[in-house]
Structure 1
Amino acid sequence: MNVLEVANLNKYFIEPVRNQVLKDVGFQVKAGEFVAITGKSGSGKSTLLYLLSTMDTDFEGSIMINGEQMKGKTNRWLAAFRNQHIGFVFQFHYLLPEFTSLENVMLPARKLGLYPKEQIEQRALDLLKLLDVDSQAAKRAALLSGGQQQRVAIARALINDPSIVMGDEPTGNLDSANSATVFGLFKELAKERQQTVLVVTHDEDFARRADRRIYMADGQIVEG
């Protein structure tokens, strides 16, 4: 089953002059697949991820996530869909510094509002344990190490059991040891939990070790 299907995707920037930044991009990602998108700066990979995240709706072509077409939907519909079906892990963790690790992980689920607080808290604790940071559950996010913060951010991305986790340079601020740990976590999530993971990265070693590597150049997929 394909969680993500992209077809004939084109993107133009209008200012200061009309410039095509994505050119007829198309690919599919299966459930439980760990895919890395890589390429040099300016290749279009970050623009592509921004479109796939549904944050930018100005494109030509088709983006299907979990069988739903993203084109033509209202911003309100897309915001609700994102919260339920897409988990995000960024280069910077974007945790709320004054909130505890546990509170940060719980936030997207409390916003979704499908389960009572006690159930959300238990699920958040289970995810922190899965990511080996449950001992930091009651600690404020500002007091965690960089590696711990990124693990908490991954737990937060998983709290609503999303169809796909999207990462934007998730190891960009980490040292090599923590980068290897984060890679291992993504690999385990895909293999053991059948979690679909799509990561944009400059790290060629990271990309090569994923299940599949998509290489972009000049707004096109040239490999993968």
Structure 2
Amino acid sequence: MQVLEIKNINKYFHSPKPFHVLKDISFSLEKGKFISITGKSGSGKSTLLYLLSTMDTDFQGSIKIDGKEMKGKSNRWLAGFRNEHIGFVFQFHYLLPEFSSLMNIMLPALKAAKYSREETEHRAYELLKLLGVADQAQKRASLLSGGQQQRVAIARALINDPLIIMGDEPTGNLDSHNTGLVFDLFQQLSQENGQTILTVTHDDEFADKSDQIIHLVDGTIEK
């Protein structure tokens, strides 16, 4: 099953001068695969990820997620689709510092309103257990270590059981131990839960262990 189909994607930056950053990109991703996007700084990998996440809508070509075309949809429609189907993990955790770990994880699910508050809290706590930080459930996010914060951010990305988990350098601020924990979790989610993982990374060791590498060179996929 193809969960992501990209055809003839072109992306331009117009300021300070016109620049063709992504050039006729086409590929598809199967459900349950763990894919890394690699390339030097400026190769276009983060730009591509933001297009695929629907957070950037200024492009030419076609992006289909779960068979639905993203091009031409309203920002409101995309926001709802994104909250339900895409979990995003940034290099920085972007947790709300004054909220507990548990509440940070619950917020996207409360917005989606797929579950009762009690069920949402239960799911959030189960994710904290899965990531080994259940003992931090009631602690404010600002008081967690960097590794704990990133694991809570990953739990937040998982709370709505997304079709695709996308990460922009999700281990970029972590030490080797926590990087290994995050990789093992992503691998488990793809192999056991059938979730598709798509991450941008500079970490060659991380990328080499994933199922597939998409390597960008000057805005094109290296064959």
Deviation at 1:14, TM superposition (A): 1.2
Distance 1:176 1:215 in 2: 23
Matched residue of 1:170: which SS? Answer: coil
Deviation at 1:130, TM superposition (A): 1.2
Residue 208 of structure 2 corresponds to residue 204 of structure 1: no
- Partner of 1:23 in structure 2? 23
Deviation at 1:16, TM superposition (A): 2.2
Deviation at 1:34, TM superposition (A): 0.4
1:89-122 Cα offsets, whole Å, 9 max, x none, are 0100111111111000000000111221001001
Length, aligned pairs only: 223
Distance 2:115 2:176 in 1: 38
1:54-110 Cα offsets, whole Å, 9 max, x none, are 111111100001111000000100011110010010100111111111000000000
- Partner of 1:154 in structure 2? 154
- TM-score by structure 1 length? 0.98
Matches for 1:69-88 after TM superposition, within 5 Å: 69-88=69-88
Matched residue of 1:93: which SS? Answer: coil
Residue 106 of structure 2 corresponds to residue 106 of structure 1: yes
Distance 2:164 2:39 in 1: 21
Distance 2:165 2:203 in 1: 18
What's the C-alpha RMSD, in Å, of the aligned pairs? Answer: 0.8
1:17-67 Cα offsets, whole Å, 9 max, x none, are 221100010111111100000000010001101111111111110000111
Q: Which runs of 5+ in 1 are unaligned?
A: none
Distance 1:3 1:128 in 2: 27
- Partner of 1:178 in structure 2? 178
Q: Which runs of 5+ in 2 are unaligned?
A: none
- Partner of 2:190 in structure 1? 190
- Partner of 2:116 in structure 1? 116
- Partner of 1:142 in structure 2? 142
Deviation at 1:127, TM superposition (A): 1.0
- Give me the identity figure in percent: 67
Q: Which segment drifts farther, 163-172 or 185-194?
A: 185-194
1:127-168 Cα offsets, whole Å, 9 max, x none, are 111111111111111111111111111110000011100000
